[in-house]
Each structure stands twice: as C-alpha cells, then as structure tokens.
Structure 1
Amino acid sequence: MEPQEILYDPSEYIETASGNKVSRNCLLCGSQHIVLSGKSIIQPKSILRGDLAQIHIGRNCIISTGVVISPPFRKLSSGSAFFPVQIGDNIFVGENTVICAASIGSYIYIGKNCVLSQGCVLRDCCRIEDNAIVPPDTVVPPFSVFSGSPGKLTGDLPESMQDLMIEVTRSYYSHFRSKNT
C-alpha cells in the first residue's frame, strides 16, 4: 500500500539548500543555535528552544505539529545550566510531544503526546508509544519499546528497526509535497 501524499502550501514553508522544510508557523528561538543536517521537516506550532543551548537535528527527521524541543538543564549552586541536545538521523516525532532529553539516538519512532523528561537518553533503534512519559534520567536501551506513565520497557523491536525507520522517514519526506507541483 502506497503512503498518501501530504500536500502543503509552499508559501507556509521555507525550504533550505540542504532540503529542510521548515514551517513559517513554528517558533525557532535562537535559530543560530539550531542545526538541521538536511531533508528534515519541522511542522507548524513546533517550538525549538535554541536560545537555551544548541539543538542539533540529524538527517531525515520529521518533527510533527506542536512538538516542543527544549535542551535539558541541571540546577547548580550558582543557578541553572542548559546543555546541548543531540538528535540523530531518521527520527519521527509525533504531534504534541515535549522533548527535554539529553540525547536521542538514530532510527527512533516517538509517538504523539509523549514527554521525554529532563536528561533522559534514547539509544538507537527504539520506540516510544503514544502518550508515554519517560521519567527523568531514564536510559531507553536499543531495540526496546517504552510505553505508559511512567514509561517502562514493554517490548522488544526486531533487528530490522533501522531499515524500517529509514523507510518511514524517507517515504514521509518524499510524500510531503508542495500543492503547486
């Protein structure tokens, strides 16, 4: 079954030389500290807080509507310190998810309405189910499924997860087309 076309109004997106498609209706705070590696999509009503610390997003990442990405912080005796967040390649982030993770590997599916709490780490090839809340400082191992509130290990993924996520993100990108074409 062929995925459906996702049509967008080209006047509502900015397309960069490296193929990123960024909605004009998203909020990029401190855009000079936000790095998109290429062929990624940032959809409307998303908020990326590059004003707090650098955010690096890999290739072929889909950031759905209403996602908030905020760098993690630690309280220190002299105040708070924010740390850069690294997001790998071939990531799909569902609608209205909040990310405060320290690190997100590659080939990961994150469902809608999730919370990735302060300092959590997602290793490569994992899945976070819809509505899951991953507790602070949790490490999600490779090839695992986390779900629930609080999020817990609830299953395992096949070794083909990397190939599946490459196909999901590339297919989404190729079917995300301008209404004018």
Structure 2
Amino acid sequence: MNPGPIYYSKGEFIETDTGNKVSRRATIAGPQNIILGGKTIISGNAVIRGDLRRTGPGHAVVISLGRYCLVGEGCVMRPPYKTYRGNFNYYPMKVGDHVHIGANTIVEAATIGNHVEIGKNCVIGKFTIIKDCAKIADNTIVPPNTVIPALALFGGTPGHFLEDLPETTQEMIESHTKEFYQRFQPYPEAGR
C-alpha cells in the first residue's frame, strides 16, 4: 500500500537549495545560529530558538538538525540552559538524522541521536540525551537530565522505560522519514 502525497500550499513553505522546507508560519529566531542538514521539514507554528545562545566567540551554533528531520506543527525547540558558578548559559542542542518530532512537543534536549521518533504533545526536559533508535510515546514528559538508551521505548508522566524496540527500528524510522519527505509536495498548479 502506497499512501498518497501530503500536499501543502507552495506559498506557505520556503525551500532551500539543500531541500529543507520551512513553513512561513514557523518562527525561526536567530537563523544564523541554526543548522539544517538538508531535506528537513519545519511545520507551521513551530518555534526554533536559535537566538538563545551563549555570548562570546566560538558559541555560534545553538541548534543543529541532521538530514530528514520532521519538526511537527506547533513544536518548540530551544537550547537547554543552566546557571553554573553564578553565570546563566545556554548550551547547544544537536539533533541527528531521521528524527521525527510530533506536533506540539517542547524540546530542550542536549542531544537527540539518529533514527529517533518523538510523539506529539511531549515535553523533553533540559539536557536530556536520547540515544539512537529510541522512541518517545505521545504525551510523555521526560524529566531533565534523563538519558534514554538506544532501542528503548519511553512513555508516561514522568517518562520511563516501557519496552525494548526491535533491531529493525533504524530501518523503519529511516524509511518513514524519507517517505514522508517524498510525499510532502506542493499542490499541483493545474489542480488549484
């Protein structure tokens, strides 16, 4: 079974030369501090806070997303922060390849590995580390500083280990993100 295209209005998305598709309704603050790896989709009403950063030299990139990342409608991504020895600082957030973040999820993780699926309406606490091929169920609240192991499903409030994921998780998530990207197309001009 081959699902049909997911259409969007051509005027709503800006497509970059590396194939990123960014909604004009998304808020990209501090774009000079954000790296998109290519073929990434940023949905409408998503907020990516690249303006929250450490000051001083050598602290430019705040949020980097890999290839084939899907950032859902209404997501908020902001770098983690803490006060250390009296100084308030933001720290970089690194997101790997083939990461799907569901709608209305708030992410303040330090690191999200490759082939990760985060459900909708989740809160990913500050400095969380999500290893490769992990999944977070819908409506999960992951406490700050949690480390989610590879091939693990987490869910609940607070988020906790539910079960091991199959070895095929990497292939399943990779095919899901690539297929979603290929299906995500502008409305045909003649059909409007």
TM-score range, shorter chain: over 0.9
SS in structure 2 at match of 1:14: strand
- Residues 31-50 of structure 1: matches in 2 within 5 Å? 31-50=31-50
Q: Distance in 1 between matches of 2:153 and 2:99?
A: 15
Q: Does 1:109 align with 2:144?
A: no
- The total of aligned residue pairs comes to 181
Of residues 99, 114, 120, the one that matches 1:91 is 99
% identity of equivalent residues: 41
One-letter amino acid of the structure 2 residue matched with residue 164 of structure 1: M
One-letter amino acid of the structure 2 residue matched with residue 25 of structure 1: R
- 1:124-149, Cα deviation, whole Å (9 max, x unpaired): 00000000011110000000000000
Q: What is the TM-score when the length of structure 2 is the normalising length?
A: 0.92
Instruction: Name the counterpart of 1:144.
Output: 152
One-letter amino acid of the structure 2 residue matched with residue 91 of structure 1: V
One-letter amino acid of the structure 2 residue matched with residue 137 of structure 1: N
TM-superposed CA distance for 1:2, in Å, is 1.4
Q: Does 1:60 align with 2:63?
A: no
SS in structure 2 at match of 1:125: coil
Q: What is the TM-score when the length of structure 1 is the normalising length?
A: 0.98
Q: Distance in 1 between matches of 2:138 and 2:114?
A: 19
TM-superposed CA distance for 1:57, in Å, is 0.3
SS in structure 2 at match of 1:173: helix
- Residues 141-180 of structure 1: matches in 2 within 5 Å? 141-180=149-188
Q: Distance in 2 between matches of 1:69 and 1:4?
A: 29
SS in structure 2 at match of 1:171: helix
Q: Which has the higher strand share?
A: 1
SS in structure 2 at match of 1:71: coil
Structure 1 stretches (4+) deviating beyond 4 angstroms?
none
Q: Distance in 1 between matches of 2:102 and 2:165?
A: 19
TM-superposed CA distance for 1:93, in Å, is 0.6
| Unpaired stretches in structure 2, ≥5 consecutive residues | 54-61
Asked if 2 retains the 8 angstrom alpha-carbon contact of 1:10 and 1:180, the reply is no
TM-superposed CA distance for 1:3, in Å, is 2.2
Instruction: Name the counterpart of 1:3.
Output: 3
- 1:107-137, Cα deviation, whole Å (9 max, x unpaired): 0110000000011100000000000011110
SS in structure 1 at match of 2:121: coil
Asked if 2 retains the 8 angstrom alpha-carbon contact of 1:13 and 1:22, the reply is yes
| Unpaired stretches in structure 1, ≥5 consecutive residues | none
Q: Distance in 2 between matches of 1:4 and 1:107?
A: 23
Larger radius of gyration: 2
Asked if 2 retains the 8 angstrom alpha-carbon contact of 1:22 and 1:42, the reply is yes
Q: Distance in 2 between matches of 1:151 and 1:4?
A: 34
Of residues 79, 92, 108, the one that matches 1:71 is 79
SS in structure 2 at match of 1:164: helix
Of residues 81, 87, 98, the one that matches 2:89 is 81
TM-superposed CA distance for 1:5, in Å, is 1.5
